[in-house]
Structure 1
């Protein structure tokens, strides 16, 4: 885990640019934010923070961070000698520990959000005997930092100390004492381009809507004046909160059927829990105001859940905070309306969001979101991707000080935020959006079926994540659903959806396409699709862990509920298909298929109507399945090749890892030969073979897929017009010759050159 010598050398060279960065800026906050991001990147730290000494208050104050909660900036502080940071400041000696929480000087700050962090390295920032502050890096993994990291960070702090001394001088020029005193006050950052992480693709332009760094201040601020109100006030707030949640849920039941009865389950259960209400009522009877009683009860539950060793229990803390904030806003005069009111349209900027916040923002037509914290696999990111809302996650906390109404452009594909973009920035994005709109409008002119130039028949199916995407699939003339990803109702809730809840979703899917193929992939949990209510702790490599069909077979009750829901919902459908993901052996396939048959038998005995003859197939995405493909072709009704995972597992490369992403090459000769073998096995056994991964819409690879005999492509609806146009210009005999040429090549370079793609090696 410890970083290498080259990384440290690069760090020191880059730190030499700090002076010029500061010289070009009049904002110390911008400088500090860029510094912590730079240090964290080079030391491969999950957290980097700068604490500066406030002489007037005689305390070290957190002034910049990448990784801790944004609202902790300016709030977390300690005296010299207090805690690990204070000890480093007082002694002017570095401190490195592999498990900071067992250190005798460890000091816990709940507002910082550092519960999972173990490794801790801090060095003093000083100029001779003048103490300036402390530079800290942290990591969840124990013993992440070594002697080389200590030396690199000390050298960095030395250069940083000089820069900060110059910063005080530069920013106080012409300002005297007033300029110096205002050095650490919030200022509007001079930002133009903020680079972050792409969490949800798409482009959005609009005015900035600041949701604020302190969205839960009302939960923590116990000093504010309160109206007593008594028990009647509390009960009125309960009723109002229930009404708000019901209205919000109904709104999304219409727009997002998968969310019906799922999103606010935890909120409703807490409101209806007698012990939760009783705890608040008891404190009111003891003389506390309703707001104080709500805070005390919420704090009690938060402390219990936050201390759990199970991740899925700790995650419930956000639900409690969300609910408590809603109750408090409804208890505080005039607060509820202001807190809930968000202007329609625009780009939302926030330090923290709950899933319910995302849904409400979408309902009010917010077109893009920028977060200063969060993970790419978080529920917020998943929701945004499913709802097609561009989301960028940045480390630059200064974006939260951008004035309301400032023109912004969010590029969710590249992970960039543009502040006050000029015409040269806006025009390419306007053209891109126009192209997408034109592509969608072309769906109305698409042919009902797809044929090659020489009369070859190709079927285009749609990949669907949400029911809201079905109308576009129909407008795109999709001949069926080749892949319905059934994870969404599982991902957005705090418990498994019931059979009835799933039935309602699947029934609407089959009803929308009663005379076409509809393929439902059973739950593909695990890997990057983490279920919050399942404790996956202990899996050091979740991509190779308990995921997909392994999870379903282990949790048979969950699997049976889903299969029963599919069978019931498919009644009357012409061609329902059940597809198992990540199959690695005939034994797995047979066991999963037998559970389908068992569910049919149970439904028959219960007198419940169901579809008695669904096609049962499998995803082909593991090398193990490839080696048995001819045997699988004798038993499966259809194959669907998940090229994304097939490439990943064949080449042993995680394409989300930037250090090895260039090894992810779908045109690798081994991948092409694997696809040809699957196609051949399917044709020999009369089994339909489709491709449902990204290769299905890659122009450079479509001729090869058709050339090896694949006649069904399943893709996102927006790609269908372009793919149909390409196929209509192709001659399948030429495609077959093209495929033979490629299959005769054994090097990546030769294939890449032949199909006209850039070699990534």
Structure 2
């Protein structure tokens, strides 16, 4: 009898294969007291395991083929850097020596303390970095417990399998991808999890957040995985197999046909030009984005320069990093200023007070920068200097009122005057824009648009703040709904406010790169989409097949519907225009 399960589809595609269950997270970690004479040997045992774990990651890094998207290698680089971070080694050795406990228990204490810090972070994307800590420590733990295992993506007959696990580390995903794994199904995770991001980059179907998947699915049974809808069908009948094999063939033809769009402009059937931009984090991503047809960079995050270090990055260090990325981008690059919060220590020993009860609503992003103007000044000077190497825009995150924007703009102008007096080169006209990710900013968009040079809608936070849910929280992420009427009205209001003021409005949240919402966003009036480079051709195809005028007329009618279900039905009809 078939079993129908639903999780969160995070990477499109259809897989039909047998199940291979991986008991990745079932670690039974003992704790016991050491004799004083054994403490030194236990410290060495931990250091040996740590060294072996780092060597394993380096081996995985060396096996990544040339030309692989930069974000894939970046996951492994992050874990290697974390291995070198003394906050893991020193804290664990201290626990072994002071508490006289075994290395496994000491590392567990270190891991739990670090994870608690990441879980307090306000930015959803950065909060998922807790997974990095989890994966790095788990790799060392497995070596200490002698439970390190080699994963295999092939079944007994040598055919690709669907790997079912509680979670899968980036290193394991890369190794399994090289063995041509059919799909991933995990019990935990969401759209921002490592499994989701890597599966999308590698083009592997994946469903995450499917609770009890390892209990409900049997080893070697045939399953169908639909990475778009999030459905997993176990023990399918011939009718289901026939339907999904046909869907699989259509998807393969569709992907193959996207290559033809690489040199084509993103212009709709009725002649509306659409700008497709990329969200990137590394200089090598700029090359991948350009190859995919990106017309510039709509979001470059700067937080990673500040994290996993004891001292703040200097102006010169930041300038060199920004100059490299700006030089690598041929179009305009929008750089977001620091989006960290008061719950994070960004230098050696300095804290901004006790951890807030709710960091997402606390001192973060532009609020922190205005309270710590020297922190902001150093970054802005570096950004302005880097603007001499290309076309830079500066974007201010989490703006909630006009006063914040004007204060930040005044500090940027002050930095310009300093650089001018010092004779340091910078572009004379660097646009300053606001990231619209707080409902208050969206509602006040007409007022903000009179001062900002551009808007960029951050849908990830805008949806969370509007609906009062944390989409990284597995208990409530089912409430994350981009189609909620309130969200749609805020997006349309922001776009119309920008158009009335004559400033461009982009969208850099995940919604912009999700093909399910492309026609909807075109209907709402969006013309600038910024997304992961891998999604550009997919979105471009929808754009060139769309009639924007018809979509906008249909959307006007849909938004007048009072019943939410009727609104959804009208939105669904947009895909038929």
Query: How does the TM-score come out when normalised to structure 2?
Result: 0.68
Which residue is equivalent to 1:92?
none
Which residue is equivalent to 1:136?
none
**Bigger CA radius of gyration:** 1
What do the CA deviations read for 1:397-439 (whole angstroms, capped 9, x no partner)? Answer: 5458733x65444333333333455523532540452254045
Contact kept? 1:482, 1:692, Cα under 8 Å: yes
Contact kept? 2:454, 2:498, Cα under 8 Å: no
1:443 aligns with 2:261: yes
What do the CA deviations read for 1:631-650 (whole angstroms, capped 9, x no partner)? Answer: 43343222224466557766
Query: How does the TM-score come out when normalised to structure 1?
Result: 0.54
Q: Structure 1 pair 249/628, CA: closer, same or farther in 2 (3 Å)?
A: same
Q: Structure 1 pair 721/507, CA: closer, same or farther in 2 (3 Å)?
A: same
CA distance in structure 1 between the aligned counterparts of 2:326 and 2:191, rounded to whole angstroms = 29
Within 5 Å, which residues of 2 pair with 1:453-464?
453=270, 458-464=273-279
What do the CA deviations read for 1:71-108 (whole angstroms, capped 9, x no partner)? Answer: xxxxxxxxxxxxxxxxxxxxxxxxxxxxxxxxxxxxxx
Within 5 Å, which residues of 2 pair with 1:678-717?
678-681=498-501, 683=502, 687-692=503-508, 694=511, 698=517, 700-701=519-520, 704-706=523-525, 711-714=527-530, 716-717=535-536
Q: Structure 1 pair 751/692, CA: closer, same or farther in 2 (3 Å)?
A: farther
Q: Structure 1 pair 408/586, CA: closer, same or farther in 2 (3 Å)?
A: same
Within 5 Å, which residues of 2 pair with 1:6-45?
none
Counterpart selection for 1:300 from 72, 81, 106: 106
Contact kept? 2:442, 2:494, Cα under 8 Å: yes
> How many residues end up aligned between the 2 structures?
521
CA distance in structure 2 between the aligned counterparts of 1:692 and 1:392, rounded to whole angstroms = 23
Question: What secondary structure, in the 3-state scheme, does the structure 2 residue paired with 1:450 have?
Answer: coil
Which residue is equivalent to 1:262?
78
1:393 aligns with 2:200: no
Q: Structure 1 pair 382/647, CA: closer, same or farther in 2 (3 Å)?
A: closer
Contact kept? 1:265, 1:494, Cα under 8 Å: no
Which residue is equivalent to 2:541?
722
- RMSD across aligned C-alpha pairs, in angstroms? 5.3
Q: Structure 1 pair 380/646, CA: closer, same or farther in 2 (3 Å)?
A: closer
Q: Structure 1 pair 624/276, CA: closer, same or farther in 2 (3 Å)?
A: closer
CA distance in structure 1 between the aligned counterparts of 2:411 and 2:293, rounded to whole angstroms = 34
Contact kept? 1:571, 1:611, Cα under 8 Å: yes
Question: What secondary structure, in the 3-state scheme, does the structure 2 residue paired with 1:593 have?
Answer: helix
Q: Structure 1 pair 665/328, CA: closer, same or farther in 2 (3 Å)?
A: same
What do the CA deviations read for 1:702-725 (whole angstroms, capped 9, x no partner)? Answer: 56445xxx6544454134323431
Contact kept? 1:639, 1:689, Cα under 8 Å: yes
CA distance in structure 2 between the aligned counterparts of 1:208 and 1:460, rounded to whole angstroms = 42
CA distance in structure 2 between the aligned counterparts of 1:735 and 1:661, rounded to whole angstroms = 21
Structure 2 gap segments, 5+ residues each = 33-40, 121-129, 155-159
Counterpart selection for 2:190 from 347, 362, 376: 376
Which residue is equivalent to 2:228?
413
Contact kept? 2:164, 2:184, Cα under 8 Å: yes
1:193 aligns with 2:29: no
Question: What secondary structure, in the 3-state scheme, does the structure 2 residue paired with 1:617 have?
Answer: strand
Which residue is equivalent to 2:394?
578
1:550 aligns with 2:370: no
Displacement, 1:480? 2.0
Contact kept? 1:349, 1:400, Cα under 8 Å: no
Contact kept? 1:669, 1:748, Cα under 8 Å: no
Within 5 Å, which residues of 2 pair with 1:273-312?
273=89, 296-303=102-109, 306=112, 310-312=116-118
Question: What secondary structure, in the 3-state scheme, does the structure 2 residue paired with 1:676 have?
Answer: helix
Question: What secondary structure, in the 3-state scheme, does the structure 2 residue paired with 1:265 have?
Answer: helix
Q: Structure 1 pair 321/556, CA: closer, same or farther in 2 (3 Å)?
A: farther
Which residue is equivalent to 1:203?
13
What do the CA deviations read for 1:468-499 (whole angstroms, capped 9, x no partner)? Answer: 765564344332223345567889x6989956
Displacement, 1:394? 2.6
Which residue is equivalent to 2:295?
479
Within 5 Å, which residues of 2 pair with 1:558-637?
563=380, 566-567=383-384, 569-573=386-390, 575-597=391-413, 613-626=429-442, 628-637=444-453
What do the CA deviations read for 1:129-157 (whole angstroms, capped 9, x no partner)? Answer: xxxxxxxxxxxxxxxxxxxxxxxxxxxxx
CA distance in structure 2 between the aligned counterparts of 1:192 and 1:216, rounded to whole angstroms = 31
Displacement, 1:591? 2.9
Contact kept? 2:54, 2:80, Cα under 8 Å: no
CA distance in structure 2 between the aligned counterparts of 1:751 and 1:590, rounded to whole angstroms = 41
Displacement, 1:264? 3.3
Which residue is equivalent to 2:244?
426
Q: Which has the higher contact order (CA 8 A, sep 6+)?
A: 2
Displacement, 1:601? 6.5
CA distance in structure 2 between the aligned counterparts of 1:740 and 1:239, rounded to whole angstroms = 58
CA distance in structure 1 between the aligned counterparts of 2:461 and 2:564, rounded to whole angstroms = 22
Displacement, 1:618? 1.3
Which residue is equivalent to 2:23?
212
Which residue is equivalent to 2:36?
none
Contact kept? 2:443, 2:493, Cα under 8 Å: no
